[in-house]
């Protein structure tokens, strides 16, 4: 896979890289010339991502990282003290309204989706600032740009990710480090496909989910990875603090039209 955006000579670290969007980002970055540290709590998935990258001629290594575990961060940093591109992608979901979501549910979601992103930034961003260069890309969601029915905890956490990206970007704007986030719409990841297969009629469920997108289809992980590559590359040198919707037009219709 070739790309107009180069990461040649750069070291990238991607969390949640064992499957789905994180796996696609890792593969895309490697194809663009980066050495990729594939970070995930799931060793099986992480090693599979590394194997896929190596099979296509890319360079990658697996890095064990549970974004809820401070000890894992210490060990990961000892092994990988310097990165040029940091992708905070690890995240989990939750189904529930404000009335059915428990404090424990909210705490679990925030531990991964919010505190995990914060811990990742706090571990590797100081070195970026010290060296005067670097790009941070976070995976947020269109749920971080508007509300979603029955996704109270998830949407709340993704609003926090968007806020972290914008605020962190301003904090380091004059250091040479850029911070952005991507807000994917519904993407056909292995997780989404597994949820669809739980329905009595998976084919009908798939059509229903796809029909809610403006383009009438779900996105593919590779399409999110393409946006991440742009933001990570030097071609996006004047882009920081952005919340880039990659959603097939879903957010274009979020609000009433006049």
Active site residues: 154
Tokens representing 173 are 């704007």
Distance separating alpha carbons of residues 27 and 161, to the nearest angstrom: 24
**Closest among 3, 161, 198, 186 to 87, alpha carbons compared:** 161
The whole-angstrom separation of Cα 75 and Cα 256 is 49
């Amino acid at each position: 896979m070739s790309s107009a955006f180069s990461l040649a000579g750069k070291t990238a670290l991607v969390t949640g890289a064992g499957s789905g969007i994180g796996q696609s980002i890792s593969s895309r970055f490697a194809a663009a010339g980066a050495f990729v540290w594939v970070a995930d709590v799931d060793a099986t998935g992480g090693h599979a991502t590394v194997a896929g990258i190596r099979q296509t001629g890319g360079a990658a290594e697996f890095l064990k990282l549970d974004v809820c575990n401070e000890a894992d961060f210490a060990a990961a940093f000892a092994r990988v003290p310097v990165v040029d591109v940091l992708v905070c992608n690890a995240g989990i979901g939750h189904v529930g309204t404000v009335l059915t979501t428990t404090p424990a549910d909210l705490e679990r979601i925030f531990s991964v989706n919010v505190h995990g992103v914060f811990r990742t930034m706090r571990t590797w961003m100081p070195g970026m600032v010290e060296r005067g260069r670097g790009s941070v890309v976070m995976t947020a969601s269109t749920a971080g740009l508007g509300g979603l029915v029955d996704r109270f905890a998830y949407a709340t956490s993704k609003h926090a990710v968007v806020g972290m990206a914008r605020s962190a970007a301003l904090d380091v704007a004059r250091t040479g480090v850029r911070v952005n986030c991507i807000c994917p719409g519904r993407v056909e990841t292995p997780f989404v496909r597994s949820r669809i297969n739980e329905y009595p009629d998976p084919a009908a469920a798939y059509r229903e989910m796809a029909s809610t997108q403006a383009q009438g289809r779900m996105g593919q992980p590779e399409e999110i990875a393409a946006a991440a590559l742009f933001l990570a590359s030097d071609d996006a040198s004047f882009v920081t603090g952005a919340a880039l919707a990659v959603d097939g037009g879903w957010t274009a219709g979020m609000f009433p039209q006049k």
